[in-house]
Amino acid sequence: MIKSNDGPPILRQQSDGDAINVAGSSQIWIDHCSLSKASDGLLDITLGSSHVTVSNCKFTQHQFVLLLGADDTHYQDKGMLATVAFNMFTDHVDQRMPRCRFGFFQVVNNNYDRWGTYAIGGSSAPTILSQGNRFFAPDDIIKKNVLARTGTGNAESMSWNWRTDRDLLENGAIFLPSGSDPVLTPEQKAGMIPAEPGE
């Protein structure tokens, strides 16, 4: 059942093509889903949504997998806090696992198996903490990079806080961290999941 506040379930008249779409919502937990082959994204979390956890899901056979933040003009996403934990990204997934804008994101103990374009990406200066993930790169030599930074010049994007901690990089996977270890707010600390080393 999908609800808004304490009121009745929302009746949506049409879909934008996402398998799951979360907009303008908070304190959301998406758990134990298996998603593939939607007409747009598999999971989009946008328009001011925050305090969202995506866990124990399997994402397969799709190009645009997991979007966190609508686009670079949606400033209501600046306060987004999201956790992506214990998921499997495998079997012909291309990119956006997740694709982050603004906000603070913990990506922890996920399994990435042969992405198409990149695994984790972003724009608009998000903070991304990648912890204890397993990244098994595709065989194509030009697709070894885990990360994709977009929407700005290289000098600016390399100041964004994108950090790696105990990630396992296999089959030539490359994770080029940037920025520095962020000082976490009490709210950010409270939402962190303890990371195990990638395996």
Structure tokens at 170: 């296999």
149 catalytic, yes or no?
Answer: no
**Residue 123, CA distances (Å) to 54, 59, 72, 75, 197 in order:** 20, 22, 7, 12, 27
Return the SS3 of 139.
coil
pLDDT in tens, 66-111: 999 999 999 999 999 999 999 999 999 999 999 999 999 999 999 9
pLDDT in tens, 157-196: 999 999 999 999 999 999 999 999 999 999 999 999 999 9
Dihedral sign for Cα 39, 41, 45, 46, please.
negative
User: What are the structural domains, with CATH classification, of the chain?
Assistant: 23-190 (2.160.20.10)
Q: How far apart are CA 172 and CA 115, in angstroms?
A: 13
Which residue is catalytic, options 12, 96, 114, 134?
Answer: 96
